Structure 1
Amino acid sequence: MNKVPIKYGSTRHDYQDFLKKLNSIIWDEDLDADEFDGKWLEIMAQHDVGDVEWFTECYSKRRQWVMAHCKDLKMGAIMRTTQRSESENRFFKRFEHKSGTLVEFLMRFESAMEQQRHNQKRLDNENRQSNPKLSSKMALESDAARVYTHNMFEEFQHELKYSTNTFSCKGLIVLDNIEVSTVQDSGRNRNFEVKFNPGTLQASCSCRLFERKGLLCSHVIWIYCGNGVKKLPECGVARRWTKDAYRGIECSFHGPEFVDVDSIDTKQLEMTKLWSEVHETIGILGGKEKEDIQNLTNLIREFKEKLCPSSEELSKEEELEKLLGCKASKEITIPPPKISKNKGSGKRIVSSKSKAIAIASKPKRMCKNCKQMAHHDKRNCPNPFAERPPALFTVKTIGCFLVLTFDKRLPEI
């Protein structure tokens, strides 16, 4: 959308009208493929830009997104083509450098993983130790605050508030114990079809918000409230947005504690027990003599020597060969790849519009030559003789004599 002013022309009298219509169909997630085709062709015909190649390419790319959106691809329809690579580049850019070695990359990668683990534990602690603020006394909202994380509960709360005053039912049909309701959304000026099964409490809406994002839409919430549902059903909750999405083993000094674990790893359980024994033993040694601490240290070192026998110091090449599990070949058969110009490399050509914006954003200063506030100075002034009157002669004092010097730049007669 940033290129629309250049491709269409921001100086045209109908530019604002064209931009408003184009935004209405580009950012509308409720349009299906047929509606998108009809409205796009109508806008292109009204403003006579159907033959422009750039708009044709935009139409094909956007239509592919709409087709994926209509197929109910879970979490895939809202992802752009380059979103995954851009996210990876933004994350690893802080920890790697083009001149770094492989070992440095592994160390920085581990630091990045540690940062993610720290943020995960911090958010888990906030979700467990605090409760979000409720906006109503509805049982459905209270149950959502118990199930969802704080960030997702805010989005659920937004959908709940939106459904209270803007909806009305235009029709109800019962087909094979499934209630098909037509919900009129006055805020979007559209009608949505909601299918609801009173037995299993399973509901689906034509807006497909749950299939795309894993969150109940305001239309389904309105149907739930109308049918007296006070607790979110399991089929209407995506586990990835709940507080129990990350479940594992918690280690403490008094032994392992399991928090809602489905399957327990035996090795991880034994490691947790070992850590508990180590912490308990160190606590006991706090009241013992120095010899007991030295005896335990010697036992640990002997056991460590059995597990990992000490070896001679290795060179850098030998350490890499041991890490990779193979020896370096003396004959180079694979040359380094050619440097390719990928997206983001090289220098971008700055347009004249960007140059003008950059110059206009700079503060003006006084030119000592033309005595005006401008973006130039005395050295690059476009009018070098602006305020300099032609001097006919100059007078100098040398001792007790006055010397009169005529200027060569005499005005023409």
Structure 2
Amino acid sequence: MKKITDKVGSKICRDTDFLTRLNGVVWDDDLEPGEFEEKWLKVMNDFSLEDNTWLNGKFADRHTWIPAYFRNVPMGGLLRTTQRSESANSFFKRFENKYGTLTEFLVRYESATDHQKHLLKLREEENANSIPETLYGSKWETQAVRSYTHAMFYEFQNQVKLSINTCSLVGYTPPNPVTNFEVSLVEDAKKGLKFAVECSRSMNDVRCTCKMFERRGILCSHIIWVCSGKFKDIPDKYILQRWRKNALKSDVYDWNGNLLEKYNNTSTKQIGMSVVWSEIQLTVGMLKRKEESDVREFAKLIKEFRTKLEGNTQPLTKQQQIELLLSARFGRNQHLTA
């Protein structure tokens, strides 16, 4: 697509909406292959480019690079043709240059991998010891913030936002045995687009014709809008292991099934402590939108349990109560002086 201007001429790209229309066709991953072909040919006809040899060659190879042809490939929405090589090149260029010796390369390669491991450790600590703020109070959002890494939670939260603010029902078929809904976002409705959501409560099974889950591994706003009120929790199969906070906490195998690295399991107590901090932080975040009486009740519950652990029957001082609340809020002990 970066070569378009050179291949068709700068005038047509500068003076018309050709580039806008072509980009809209090429990168629209909601199109089925047949729809893509129809729209591509219309753009070519409208701008008299039917005989352009280079464009015709790209159209002949469309199944190798157009997103519409990867809609049914699991996680196909994450694929980029040069992603593996370009991302590696970009990373190592920060540590190496073409004038270095082989010995220097080995040393700098070690530095680069150490840097990667350090960043990974920082992300793991961030995901283990902090929780993003939930904004909409839905049960699905609360479950997602416990399960997803921060980055994936924000993507999911954006889908929740779209489902609340822009989704609308445009059709409905009673269950037999699957309930079918036709859903559209505001912007999609303007384009005449609508997506069918199939929902089977008995099998905890949901599907949408936009195929976002199949392409990117995260539920779309259409499914969230239809099913968040029908299912108490997100079905476990729709929170992929690769996006979870504990994604790396498993043994590593090669393609032949040989064990490469055994995960050193964290103790049950450590896991339990992480769960405790997670629950406290999540609860404190929810209290921001609740009444003052709820805050006092939460503080009382924690204070009573702490008193029990200390074997102290005396009520906590005001200073101790403040320390306790700060501890719950920030996820670590706060030692304050009077």
Normalising by structure 2, we get a TM-score of: 0.67
Contact 1:144 1:153 survives alignment (8 Å):
yes
Instruction: Give the residue type in structure 2 aligned to 1:217.
Output: C
Structure 1 residues 14 and 84 mapped into 2: Cα distance closer, same or farther (>3 Å)?
Answer: closer
Matches within 5 A, 1:41-60: 41-60=41-60
SS at match of 1:188: helix
Asked if residue 246 in structure 1 is aligned to residue 248 in structure 2, the reply is yes
Shift of 1:250: 6.9
SS at match of 2:187: coil
Contact 1:69 1:78 survives alignment (8 Å):
no
Shift of 1:249: 3.0
Corresponding position of 2:183: 183
Matches within 5 A, 1:86-165: 86-98=86-98, 100=100, 102-165=102-165
Structure 1 residues 103 and 14 mapped into 2: Cα distance closer, same or farther (>3 Å)?
Answer: closer
Q: Deviations over 1:134-166 (max 9, x none)?
A: 212212111111111111111111111111132
Contact 1:192 1:206 survives alignment (8 Å):
yes
Distance 2:40 2:157 in 1: 34
Shift of 1:181: 1.8
Instruction: Give the residue type in structure 1 aligned to 2:236.
Output: E
Contact 1:184 1:192 survives alignment (8 Å):
yes
Shift of 1:240: 0.9
Instruction: Give the residue type in structure 1 aligned to 2:119.
Output: N
Corresponding position of 2:225: 222
Asked if residue 235 in structure 1 is aligned to residue 237 in structure 2, the reply is yes
Instruction: Give the residue type in structure 2 aligned to 1:17.
Output: D
Corresponding position of 2:209: 206
Instruction: Give the residue type in structure 2 aligned to 1:221.
Output: I
Distance 2:118 2:269 in 1: 20
Distance 2:122 2:176 in 1: 48
Distance 1:13 1:25 in 2: 15
Matches within 5 A, 1:385-400: none
SS at match of 2:126: helix
Shift of 1:54: 2.0
Contact 1:9 1:15 survives alignment (8 Å):
no
Contact 1:184 1:191 survives alignment (8 Å):
yes
Q: Deviations over 1:96-117 (max 9, x none)?
A: 4445555544433332222222
Distance 2:269 2:105 in 1: 35
Shift of 1:176: 5.4
Structure 1 residues 95 and 4 mapped into 2: Cα distance closer, same or farther (>3 Å)?
Answer: same
Contact 1:140 1:232 survives alignment (8 Å):
yes
Q: CA RMSD in A?
A: 2.7
Corresponding position of 2:37: 37
Asked if residue 193 in structure 1 is aligned to residue 196 in structure 2, the reply is yes
SS at match of 2:78: coil
Instruction: Give the residue type in structure 2 aligned to 1:162.
Output: L
Corresponding position of 1:341: none
- Identical-residue share of aligned pairs (%): 38
Distance 1:168 1:155 in 2: 20
* Larger RCO (CA within 8 A; separation ≥ 6): 2
Whose helix fraction is larger, Structure 1's or Structure 2's? Answer: 2
Unpaired runs of at least 5, structure 1: 261-413
Structure 1 residues 118 and 69 mapped into 2: Cα distance closer, same or farther (>3 Å)?
Answer: same
Unpaired runs of at least 5, structure 2: 250-262, 273-338
Instruction: Give the residue type in structure 2 aligned to 1:237.
Output: I
Corresponding position of 1:403: none
Q: Deviations over 1:373-402 (max 9, x none)?
A: xxxxxxxxxxxxxxxxxxxxxxxxxxxxxx
Shift of 1:246: 2.0
Shift of 1:2: 3.5
Distance 2:158 2:55 in 1: 35
Distance 2:83 2:234 in 1: 32
Corresponding position of 2:83: 83
Corresponding position of 2:70: 69
Distance 2:61 2:269 in 1: 51
Structure 1 residues 169 and 244 mapped into 2: Cα distance closer, same or farther (>3 Å)?
Answer: same
Shift of 1:9: 3.4
Corresponding position of 2:24: 24
Larger Rg: 1
Distance 1:249 1:168 in 2: 47
Distance 1:111 1:165 in 2: 47
SS at match of 1:177: coil
Contact 2:13 2:19 survives alignment (8 Å):
no
Higher mean C-alpha displacement, 102-111 vs 121-130:
102-111
Whose strand fraction is larger, Structure 1's or Structure 2's? Answer: 1
Corresponding position of 2:292: none
Contact 1:250 1:258 survives alignment (8 Å):
no
